[in-house]
Amino acid sequence: MYVCGRAGKKYFEKKRMEEFVEKSLLFDFYGELLTEHQRRIYQDIVFEDLSVSEVARSEGITRQGVHDLMKRCDKILAGYEEKLHLVEKFLGIRRRVGEIRELTEEGSAVDRIAQTILEEM
């Protein structure tokens, strides 16, 4: 699909942001299940925005090695989500608590409890 001009740029920026949020959530929930080496490289690429070349140089591996490791990590994290559905459950709870807040009077006991739940998530 080809999208041009400002609309295209916005589309790809939005897509990139959605991918970042998805990777962040998966890493938050399942990142501890990766090896230390996988976690370090994944964090450098995703959260520190380092290039594959920079990470390869600092880790003493090839760019292809970094690329393969990132693909493997994405697959591992997605596999955990497919089995456990923790991110899906988290997002569902957050959405429902937000709906409760919309239906209750601001400052009420229920609103305060809902706000506390959202803050703790």
Q: What's the mean pLDDT in 54-61?
A: 97
For residue 47, give both structure tokens: 């959260």
Judged against a pLDDT cut of 70, whether residue 47 lies above it is answered with yes
Judged against a pLDDT cut of 80, whether residue 113 lies above it is answered with yes
Q: How far apart are CA 17 and CA 71, in angstroms?
A: 18
**Residues in CB range of 66: below 8 A, 6 or more apart:** 41, 45, 52, 55, 56, 59
Give the model's pLDDT for residue 118.
Answer: 84
Q: What's the mean pLDDT in 71-91?
A: 97
Q: What's the mean pLDDT in 37-43?
A: 97
Global model pTM greater than 0.85:
no
Q: Which CATH number fits domain 1-84: 3.40.1500.10, 1.10.3980.10, 2.60.40.10, 1.10.10.10?
A: 1.10.10.10
Give the model's pLDDT for residue 106.
Answer: 85
Give the model's pLDDT for residue 3.
Answer: 53
